A and B are shown apart, each in its own frame.
Chain A
Amino acid sequence: MFEYNFHWRPVLKTLPDLIQAGLTTLEVATLSMVIGILLGLCLALIRMNMNGPLKWFAVSWIEMARNTPALFQLFFFGFGLGAIGINLTPYTIILAGLSFNCAGYLAENFRGGFQAVPDTQLKAARCLGMNAWQAYTRIVIPQVFKVIYHPITNQMVWAVLMSSLGMLIGFRELSGETQFFASRTFRIFEYFAVTAVLYYVIVKIILAASRLLAMRLFRY
């Protein structure tokens, strides 16, 4: 039927390497999500509560992250910073780019989350004698996390998918590894088909884990 002969053997032989690279993908995505959540939380708080240059900085970060392609941001961290003498390793480029991007998107999610928690919660906490830090970390932020738990899960999936851009800046995560093997054996279709399956599995695992975690976290 096809004139093309499929060769799956080289792919299967390097499957352990691909799975190993899949773990790298997961690692870099998780790390950038952790950094992104922390930065995003700060950005959201700054954007809502402060004025002056700090607010301007937060707003421009958020708008830059949301209105330019992730690949562009990676190029910026790679080539752009390289031009002014800051040479990052591919791993750092991916980590910085993804964190920058996630922080921007998550900041807006956090903002929505903060708006969804009624003001009276904060006031009540302060009335009960908590200081601002306690009120935020024990009353407000847990509720915000509950509101934006689902968006955070989505963002995590996006982070995994975005990390595939590492292929274009020479980082050997799942896609980069695939590209490497594919160009060595010229079995491009076979390699990328297997990688697509691996990504699908990774995403499904994340969604399942998130659902399990939600069941433990949010039961009453």
Chain B
Amino acid sequence: MSDFEPKIVAFFCNWCTYGAADLAGVSRLDYPPNFRVVRLPCTGRLNPKFIMEAFKRGADGVWVSGCHPGDCHYIAGNYYARRKFILLHQLLESVGVDPNRLRFSWISSAEANKFQAMAKDVVENVKACGPNQSFRKEELNLGLAEVA
């Protein structure tokens, strides 16, 4: 299992965590490359179906990160988002999705170190869960065996 490299879909707010990732980059702080970032204008933009879509298509984990409460560029977007996260987090855990696959965090654009630590932690946690086999769509049956 140790050579399992998870694929993680990350949804970052443009005004904070996305900046933190940039800052971590220019500061030469290295972090694991297992996540693909989708930039959002605000975590308030995050529709739960984005997360479902990521899992459906086989993501091993999802990471959502935005501005600290009180720091939203749009005044209150992350407060609304937080309520959605509370529901989504509870619902997915209730139906048996390992909470270690789904991470929510608040990281400001100045917190490059927190970003680096969080990135490592997210990847480690998802690695420990192993590949996502139970909460994704079936591989399409392309009939490849018959061709070969």
Q: Do A and B bind each other?
A: no
A residues sitting closer than 8 Å to B (CB atoms) are none
